[in-house]
Amino acid sequence: MGRPSFQIPPPPTDFARLSFPNPHILLVTLSRPKSLNCINSAGNQELHAVWTWLDAEPSLRVGIVTGEGRAFCAGADLKEWNESQKPGATPRKPLSPSGFGGLSRRRGRKPVIAAVNGLAHGGGCEMIINCDIVLASPSAVFALPEAKRGLVALAGALPRLTRIVGRMRAMEMALTGRNVPAQEAKEWGLCNAVCTDGESVADVAVKWAEEICANSPDSIVVSKEGIELGWEGISAEEGSQRLVDGLFNKMLGGENMKEGVRAFVEKRRPKWGNSKL
C-alpha cells in the first residue's frame, strides 16, 4: 500500500521506518538491527516527533511500534553514552518529556501498540511498559538490566511496572535484571497476548489496530483518557468527573456520536469521520 496523503507531513526519520498498513494506522519499525535497535539521543528526539505527529495528524488513529531483526529494542546506546563522558565530548541531547523512544512517559491522545518481536531490554522495556497494548512473539524477552551496568531505569518504568505486575515482581525485574520470557510476561500481565510460532507479531498488531479503527475515533480518544486518569492514581470518582467535564463534553453531540447511534438504529456499519478532539 502506498503512503496515504496527510494534512500534516510526517517528520523525517533516520533511525526508524514509517509505513502505513492501513490509511489510519502508523507502523514504526525501529531500524538499527546491527545495534539491536538501541536508541541514541538523536533517535529519541526523532521518535518524540513521530508520536507527536501521530496525535496531530487527523487521519491517523492507532500507532504500532516494532523492531527490525531479532530485537525490539536493546535500550539506550551505551556506546554513545560512554563517548559523551570523555573530556571535551559533546553532551548528549536530553530526553524529551515523552521519555525514552518518545513513549516511556508519553501521555498521548491516540493508542500505541507494542509489537515485541524479540528482546526488549532497558529502555526498550520501559517503552512497552507505557504502551497501551503489548503483543509479543514467542521469542520475546523483557528485562530491566540497568543494575548490571551500574545504572537505574529512570525513564518512567519503575513506578508504572509496580502498578502492572505488583511490588514483588517489579522488585524481581529491577533488582536481578533477569530476562522474563514472553509467556511469563503474559502471566504477569506485562503483555496482552503471545503470538503462535510462525505468526508475525507486527501482522497480528495490525489486526488488533484494525479492530480499534473499526470503532469511533472520538470514543477511542476519550476512553484512552479515562483509563489514563485511573493509571495516574486518582480516585475513580475524580477520574470519571474529569473525563465528563473535559474530553467527553467536547465529544458530546459530535458527528461521530450521532453517526454511531444512527448506524445502530439503521442496522448498518457506521462511517466514522476523523476525530476533532
Residues in the chain: 277
Question: Which of the residues 146, 153, 226, 239 is marked catalytic?
Answer: 146
Q: Is 232 assigned a catalytic role?
A: no
Task: Establish whether 76 is a catalytic residue.
Answer: yes
Please pick, among 74, 76, 170, 202, the residue that the annotation labels catalytic. 76
> How far apart (Å, rounded) are the C-alpha atoms in residues 68 and 5?
25
**Which cell is 142 given?**
523483557
Separation between Cα atoms, residue 217 and residue 62, nearest integer Å:
9
Which of 218, 99, 110 is closest to 159 using CA atoms?
99
Question: Among residues 46, 68, 126, 225, which one is catalytic?
Answer: 126
Q: Which residue has the cell 531479532?
A: 70
- Residue 57 bears catalytic tag: no
Phi and psi of 238, rounded to 5°?
A: -65, -40
The one catalytic residue among 75, 102, 118, 123: 123
DSSP state of 146: G
Q: Is 153 a catalytic residue?
A: no
- For the CA atoms of 93, 98, 99, 103, the dihedral, rounded to the nearest 10 degrees, stands at -130
Which residues are catalytic, by number? 76, 123, 126, 146
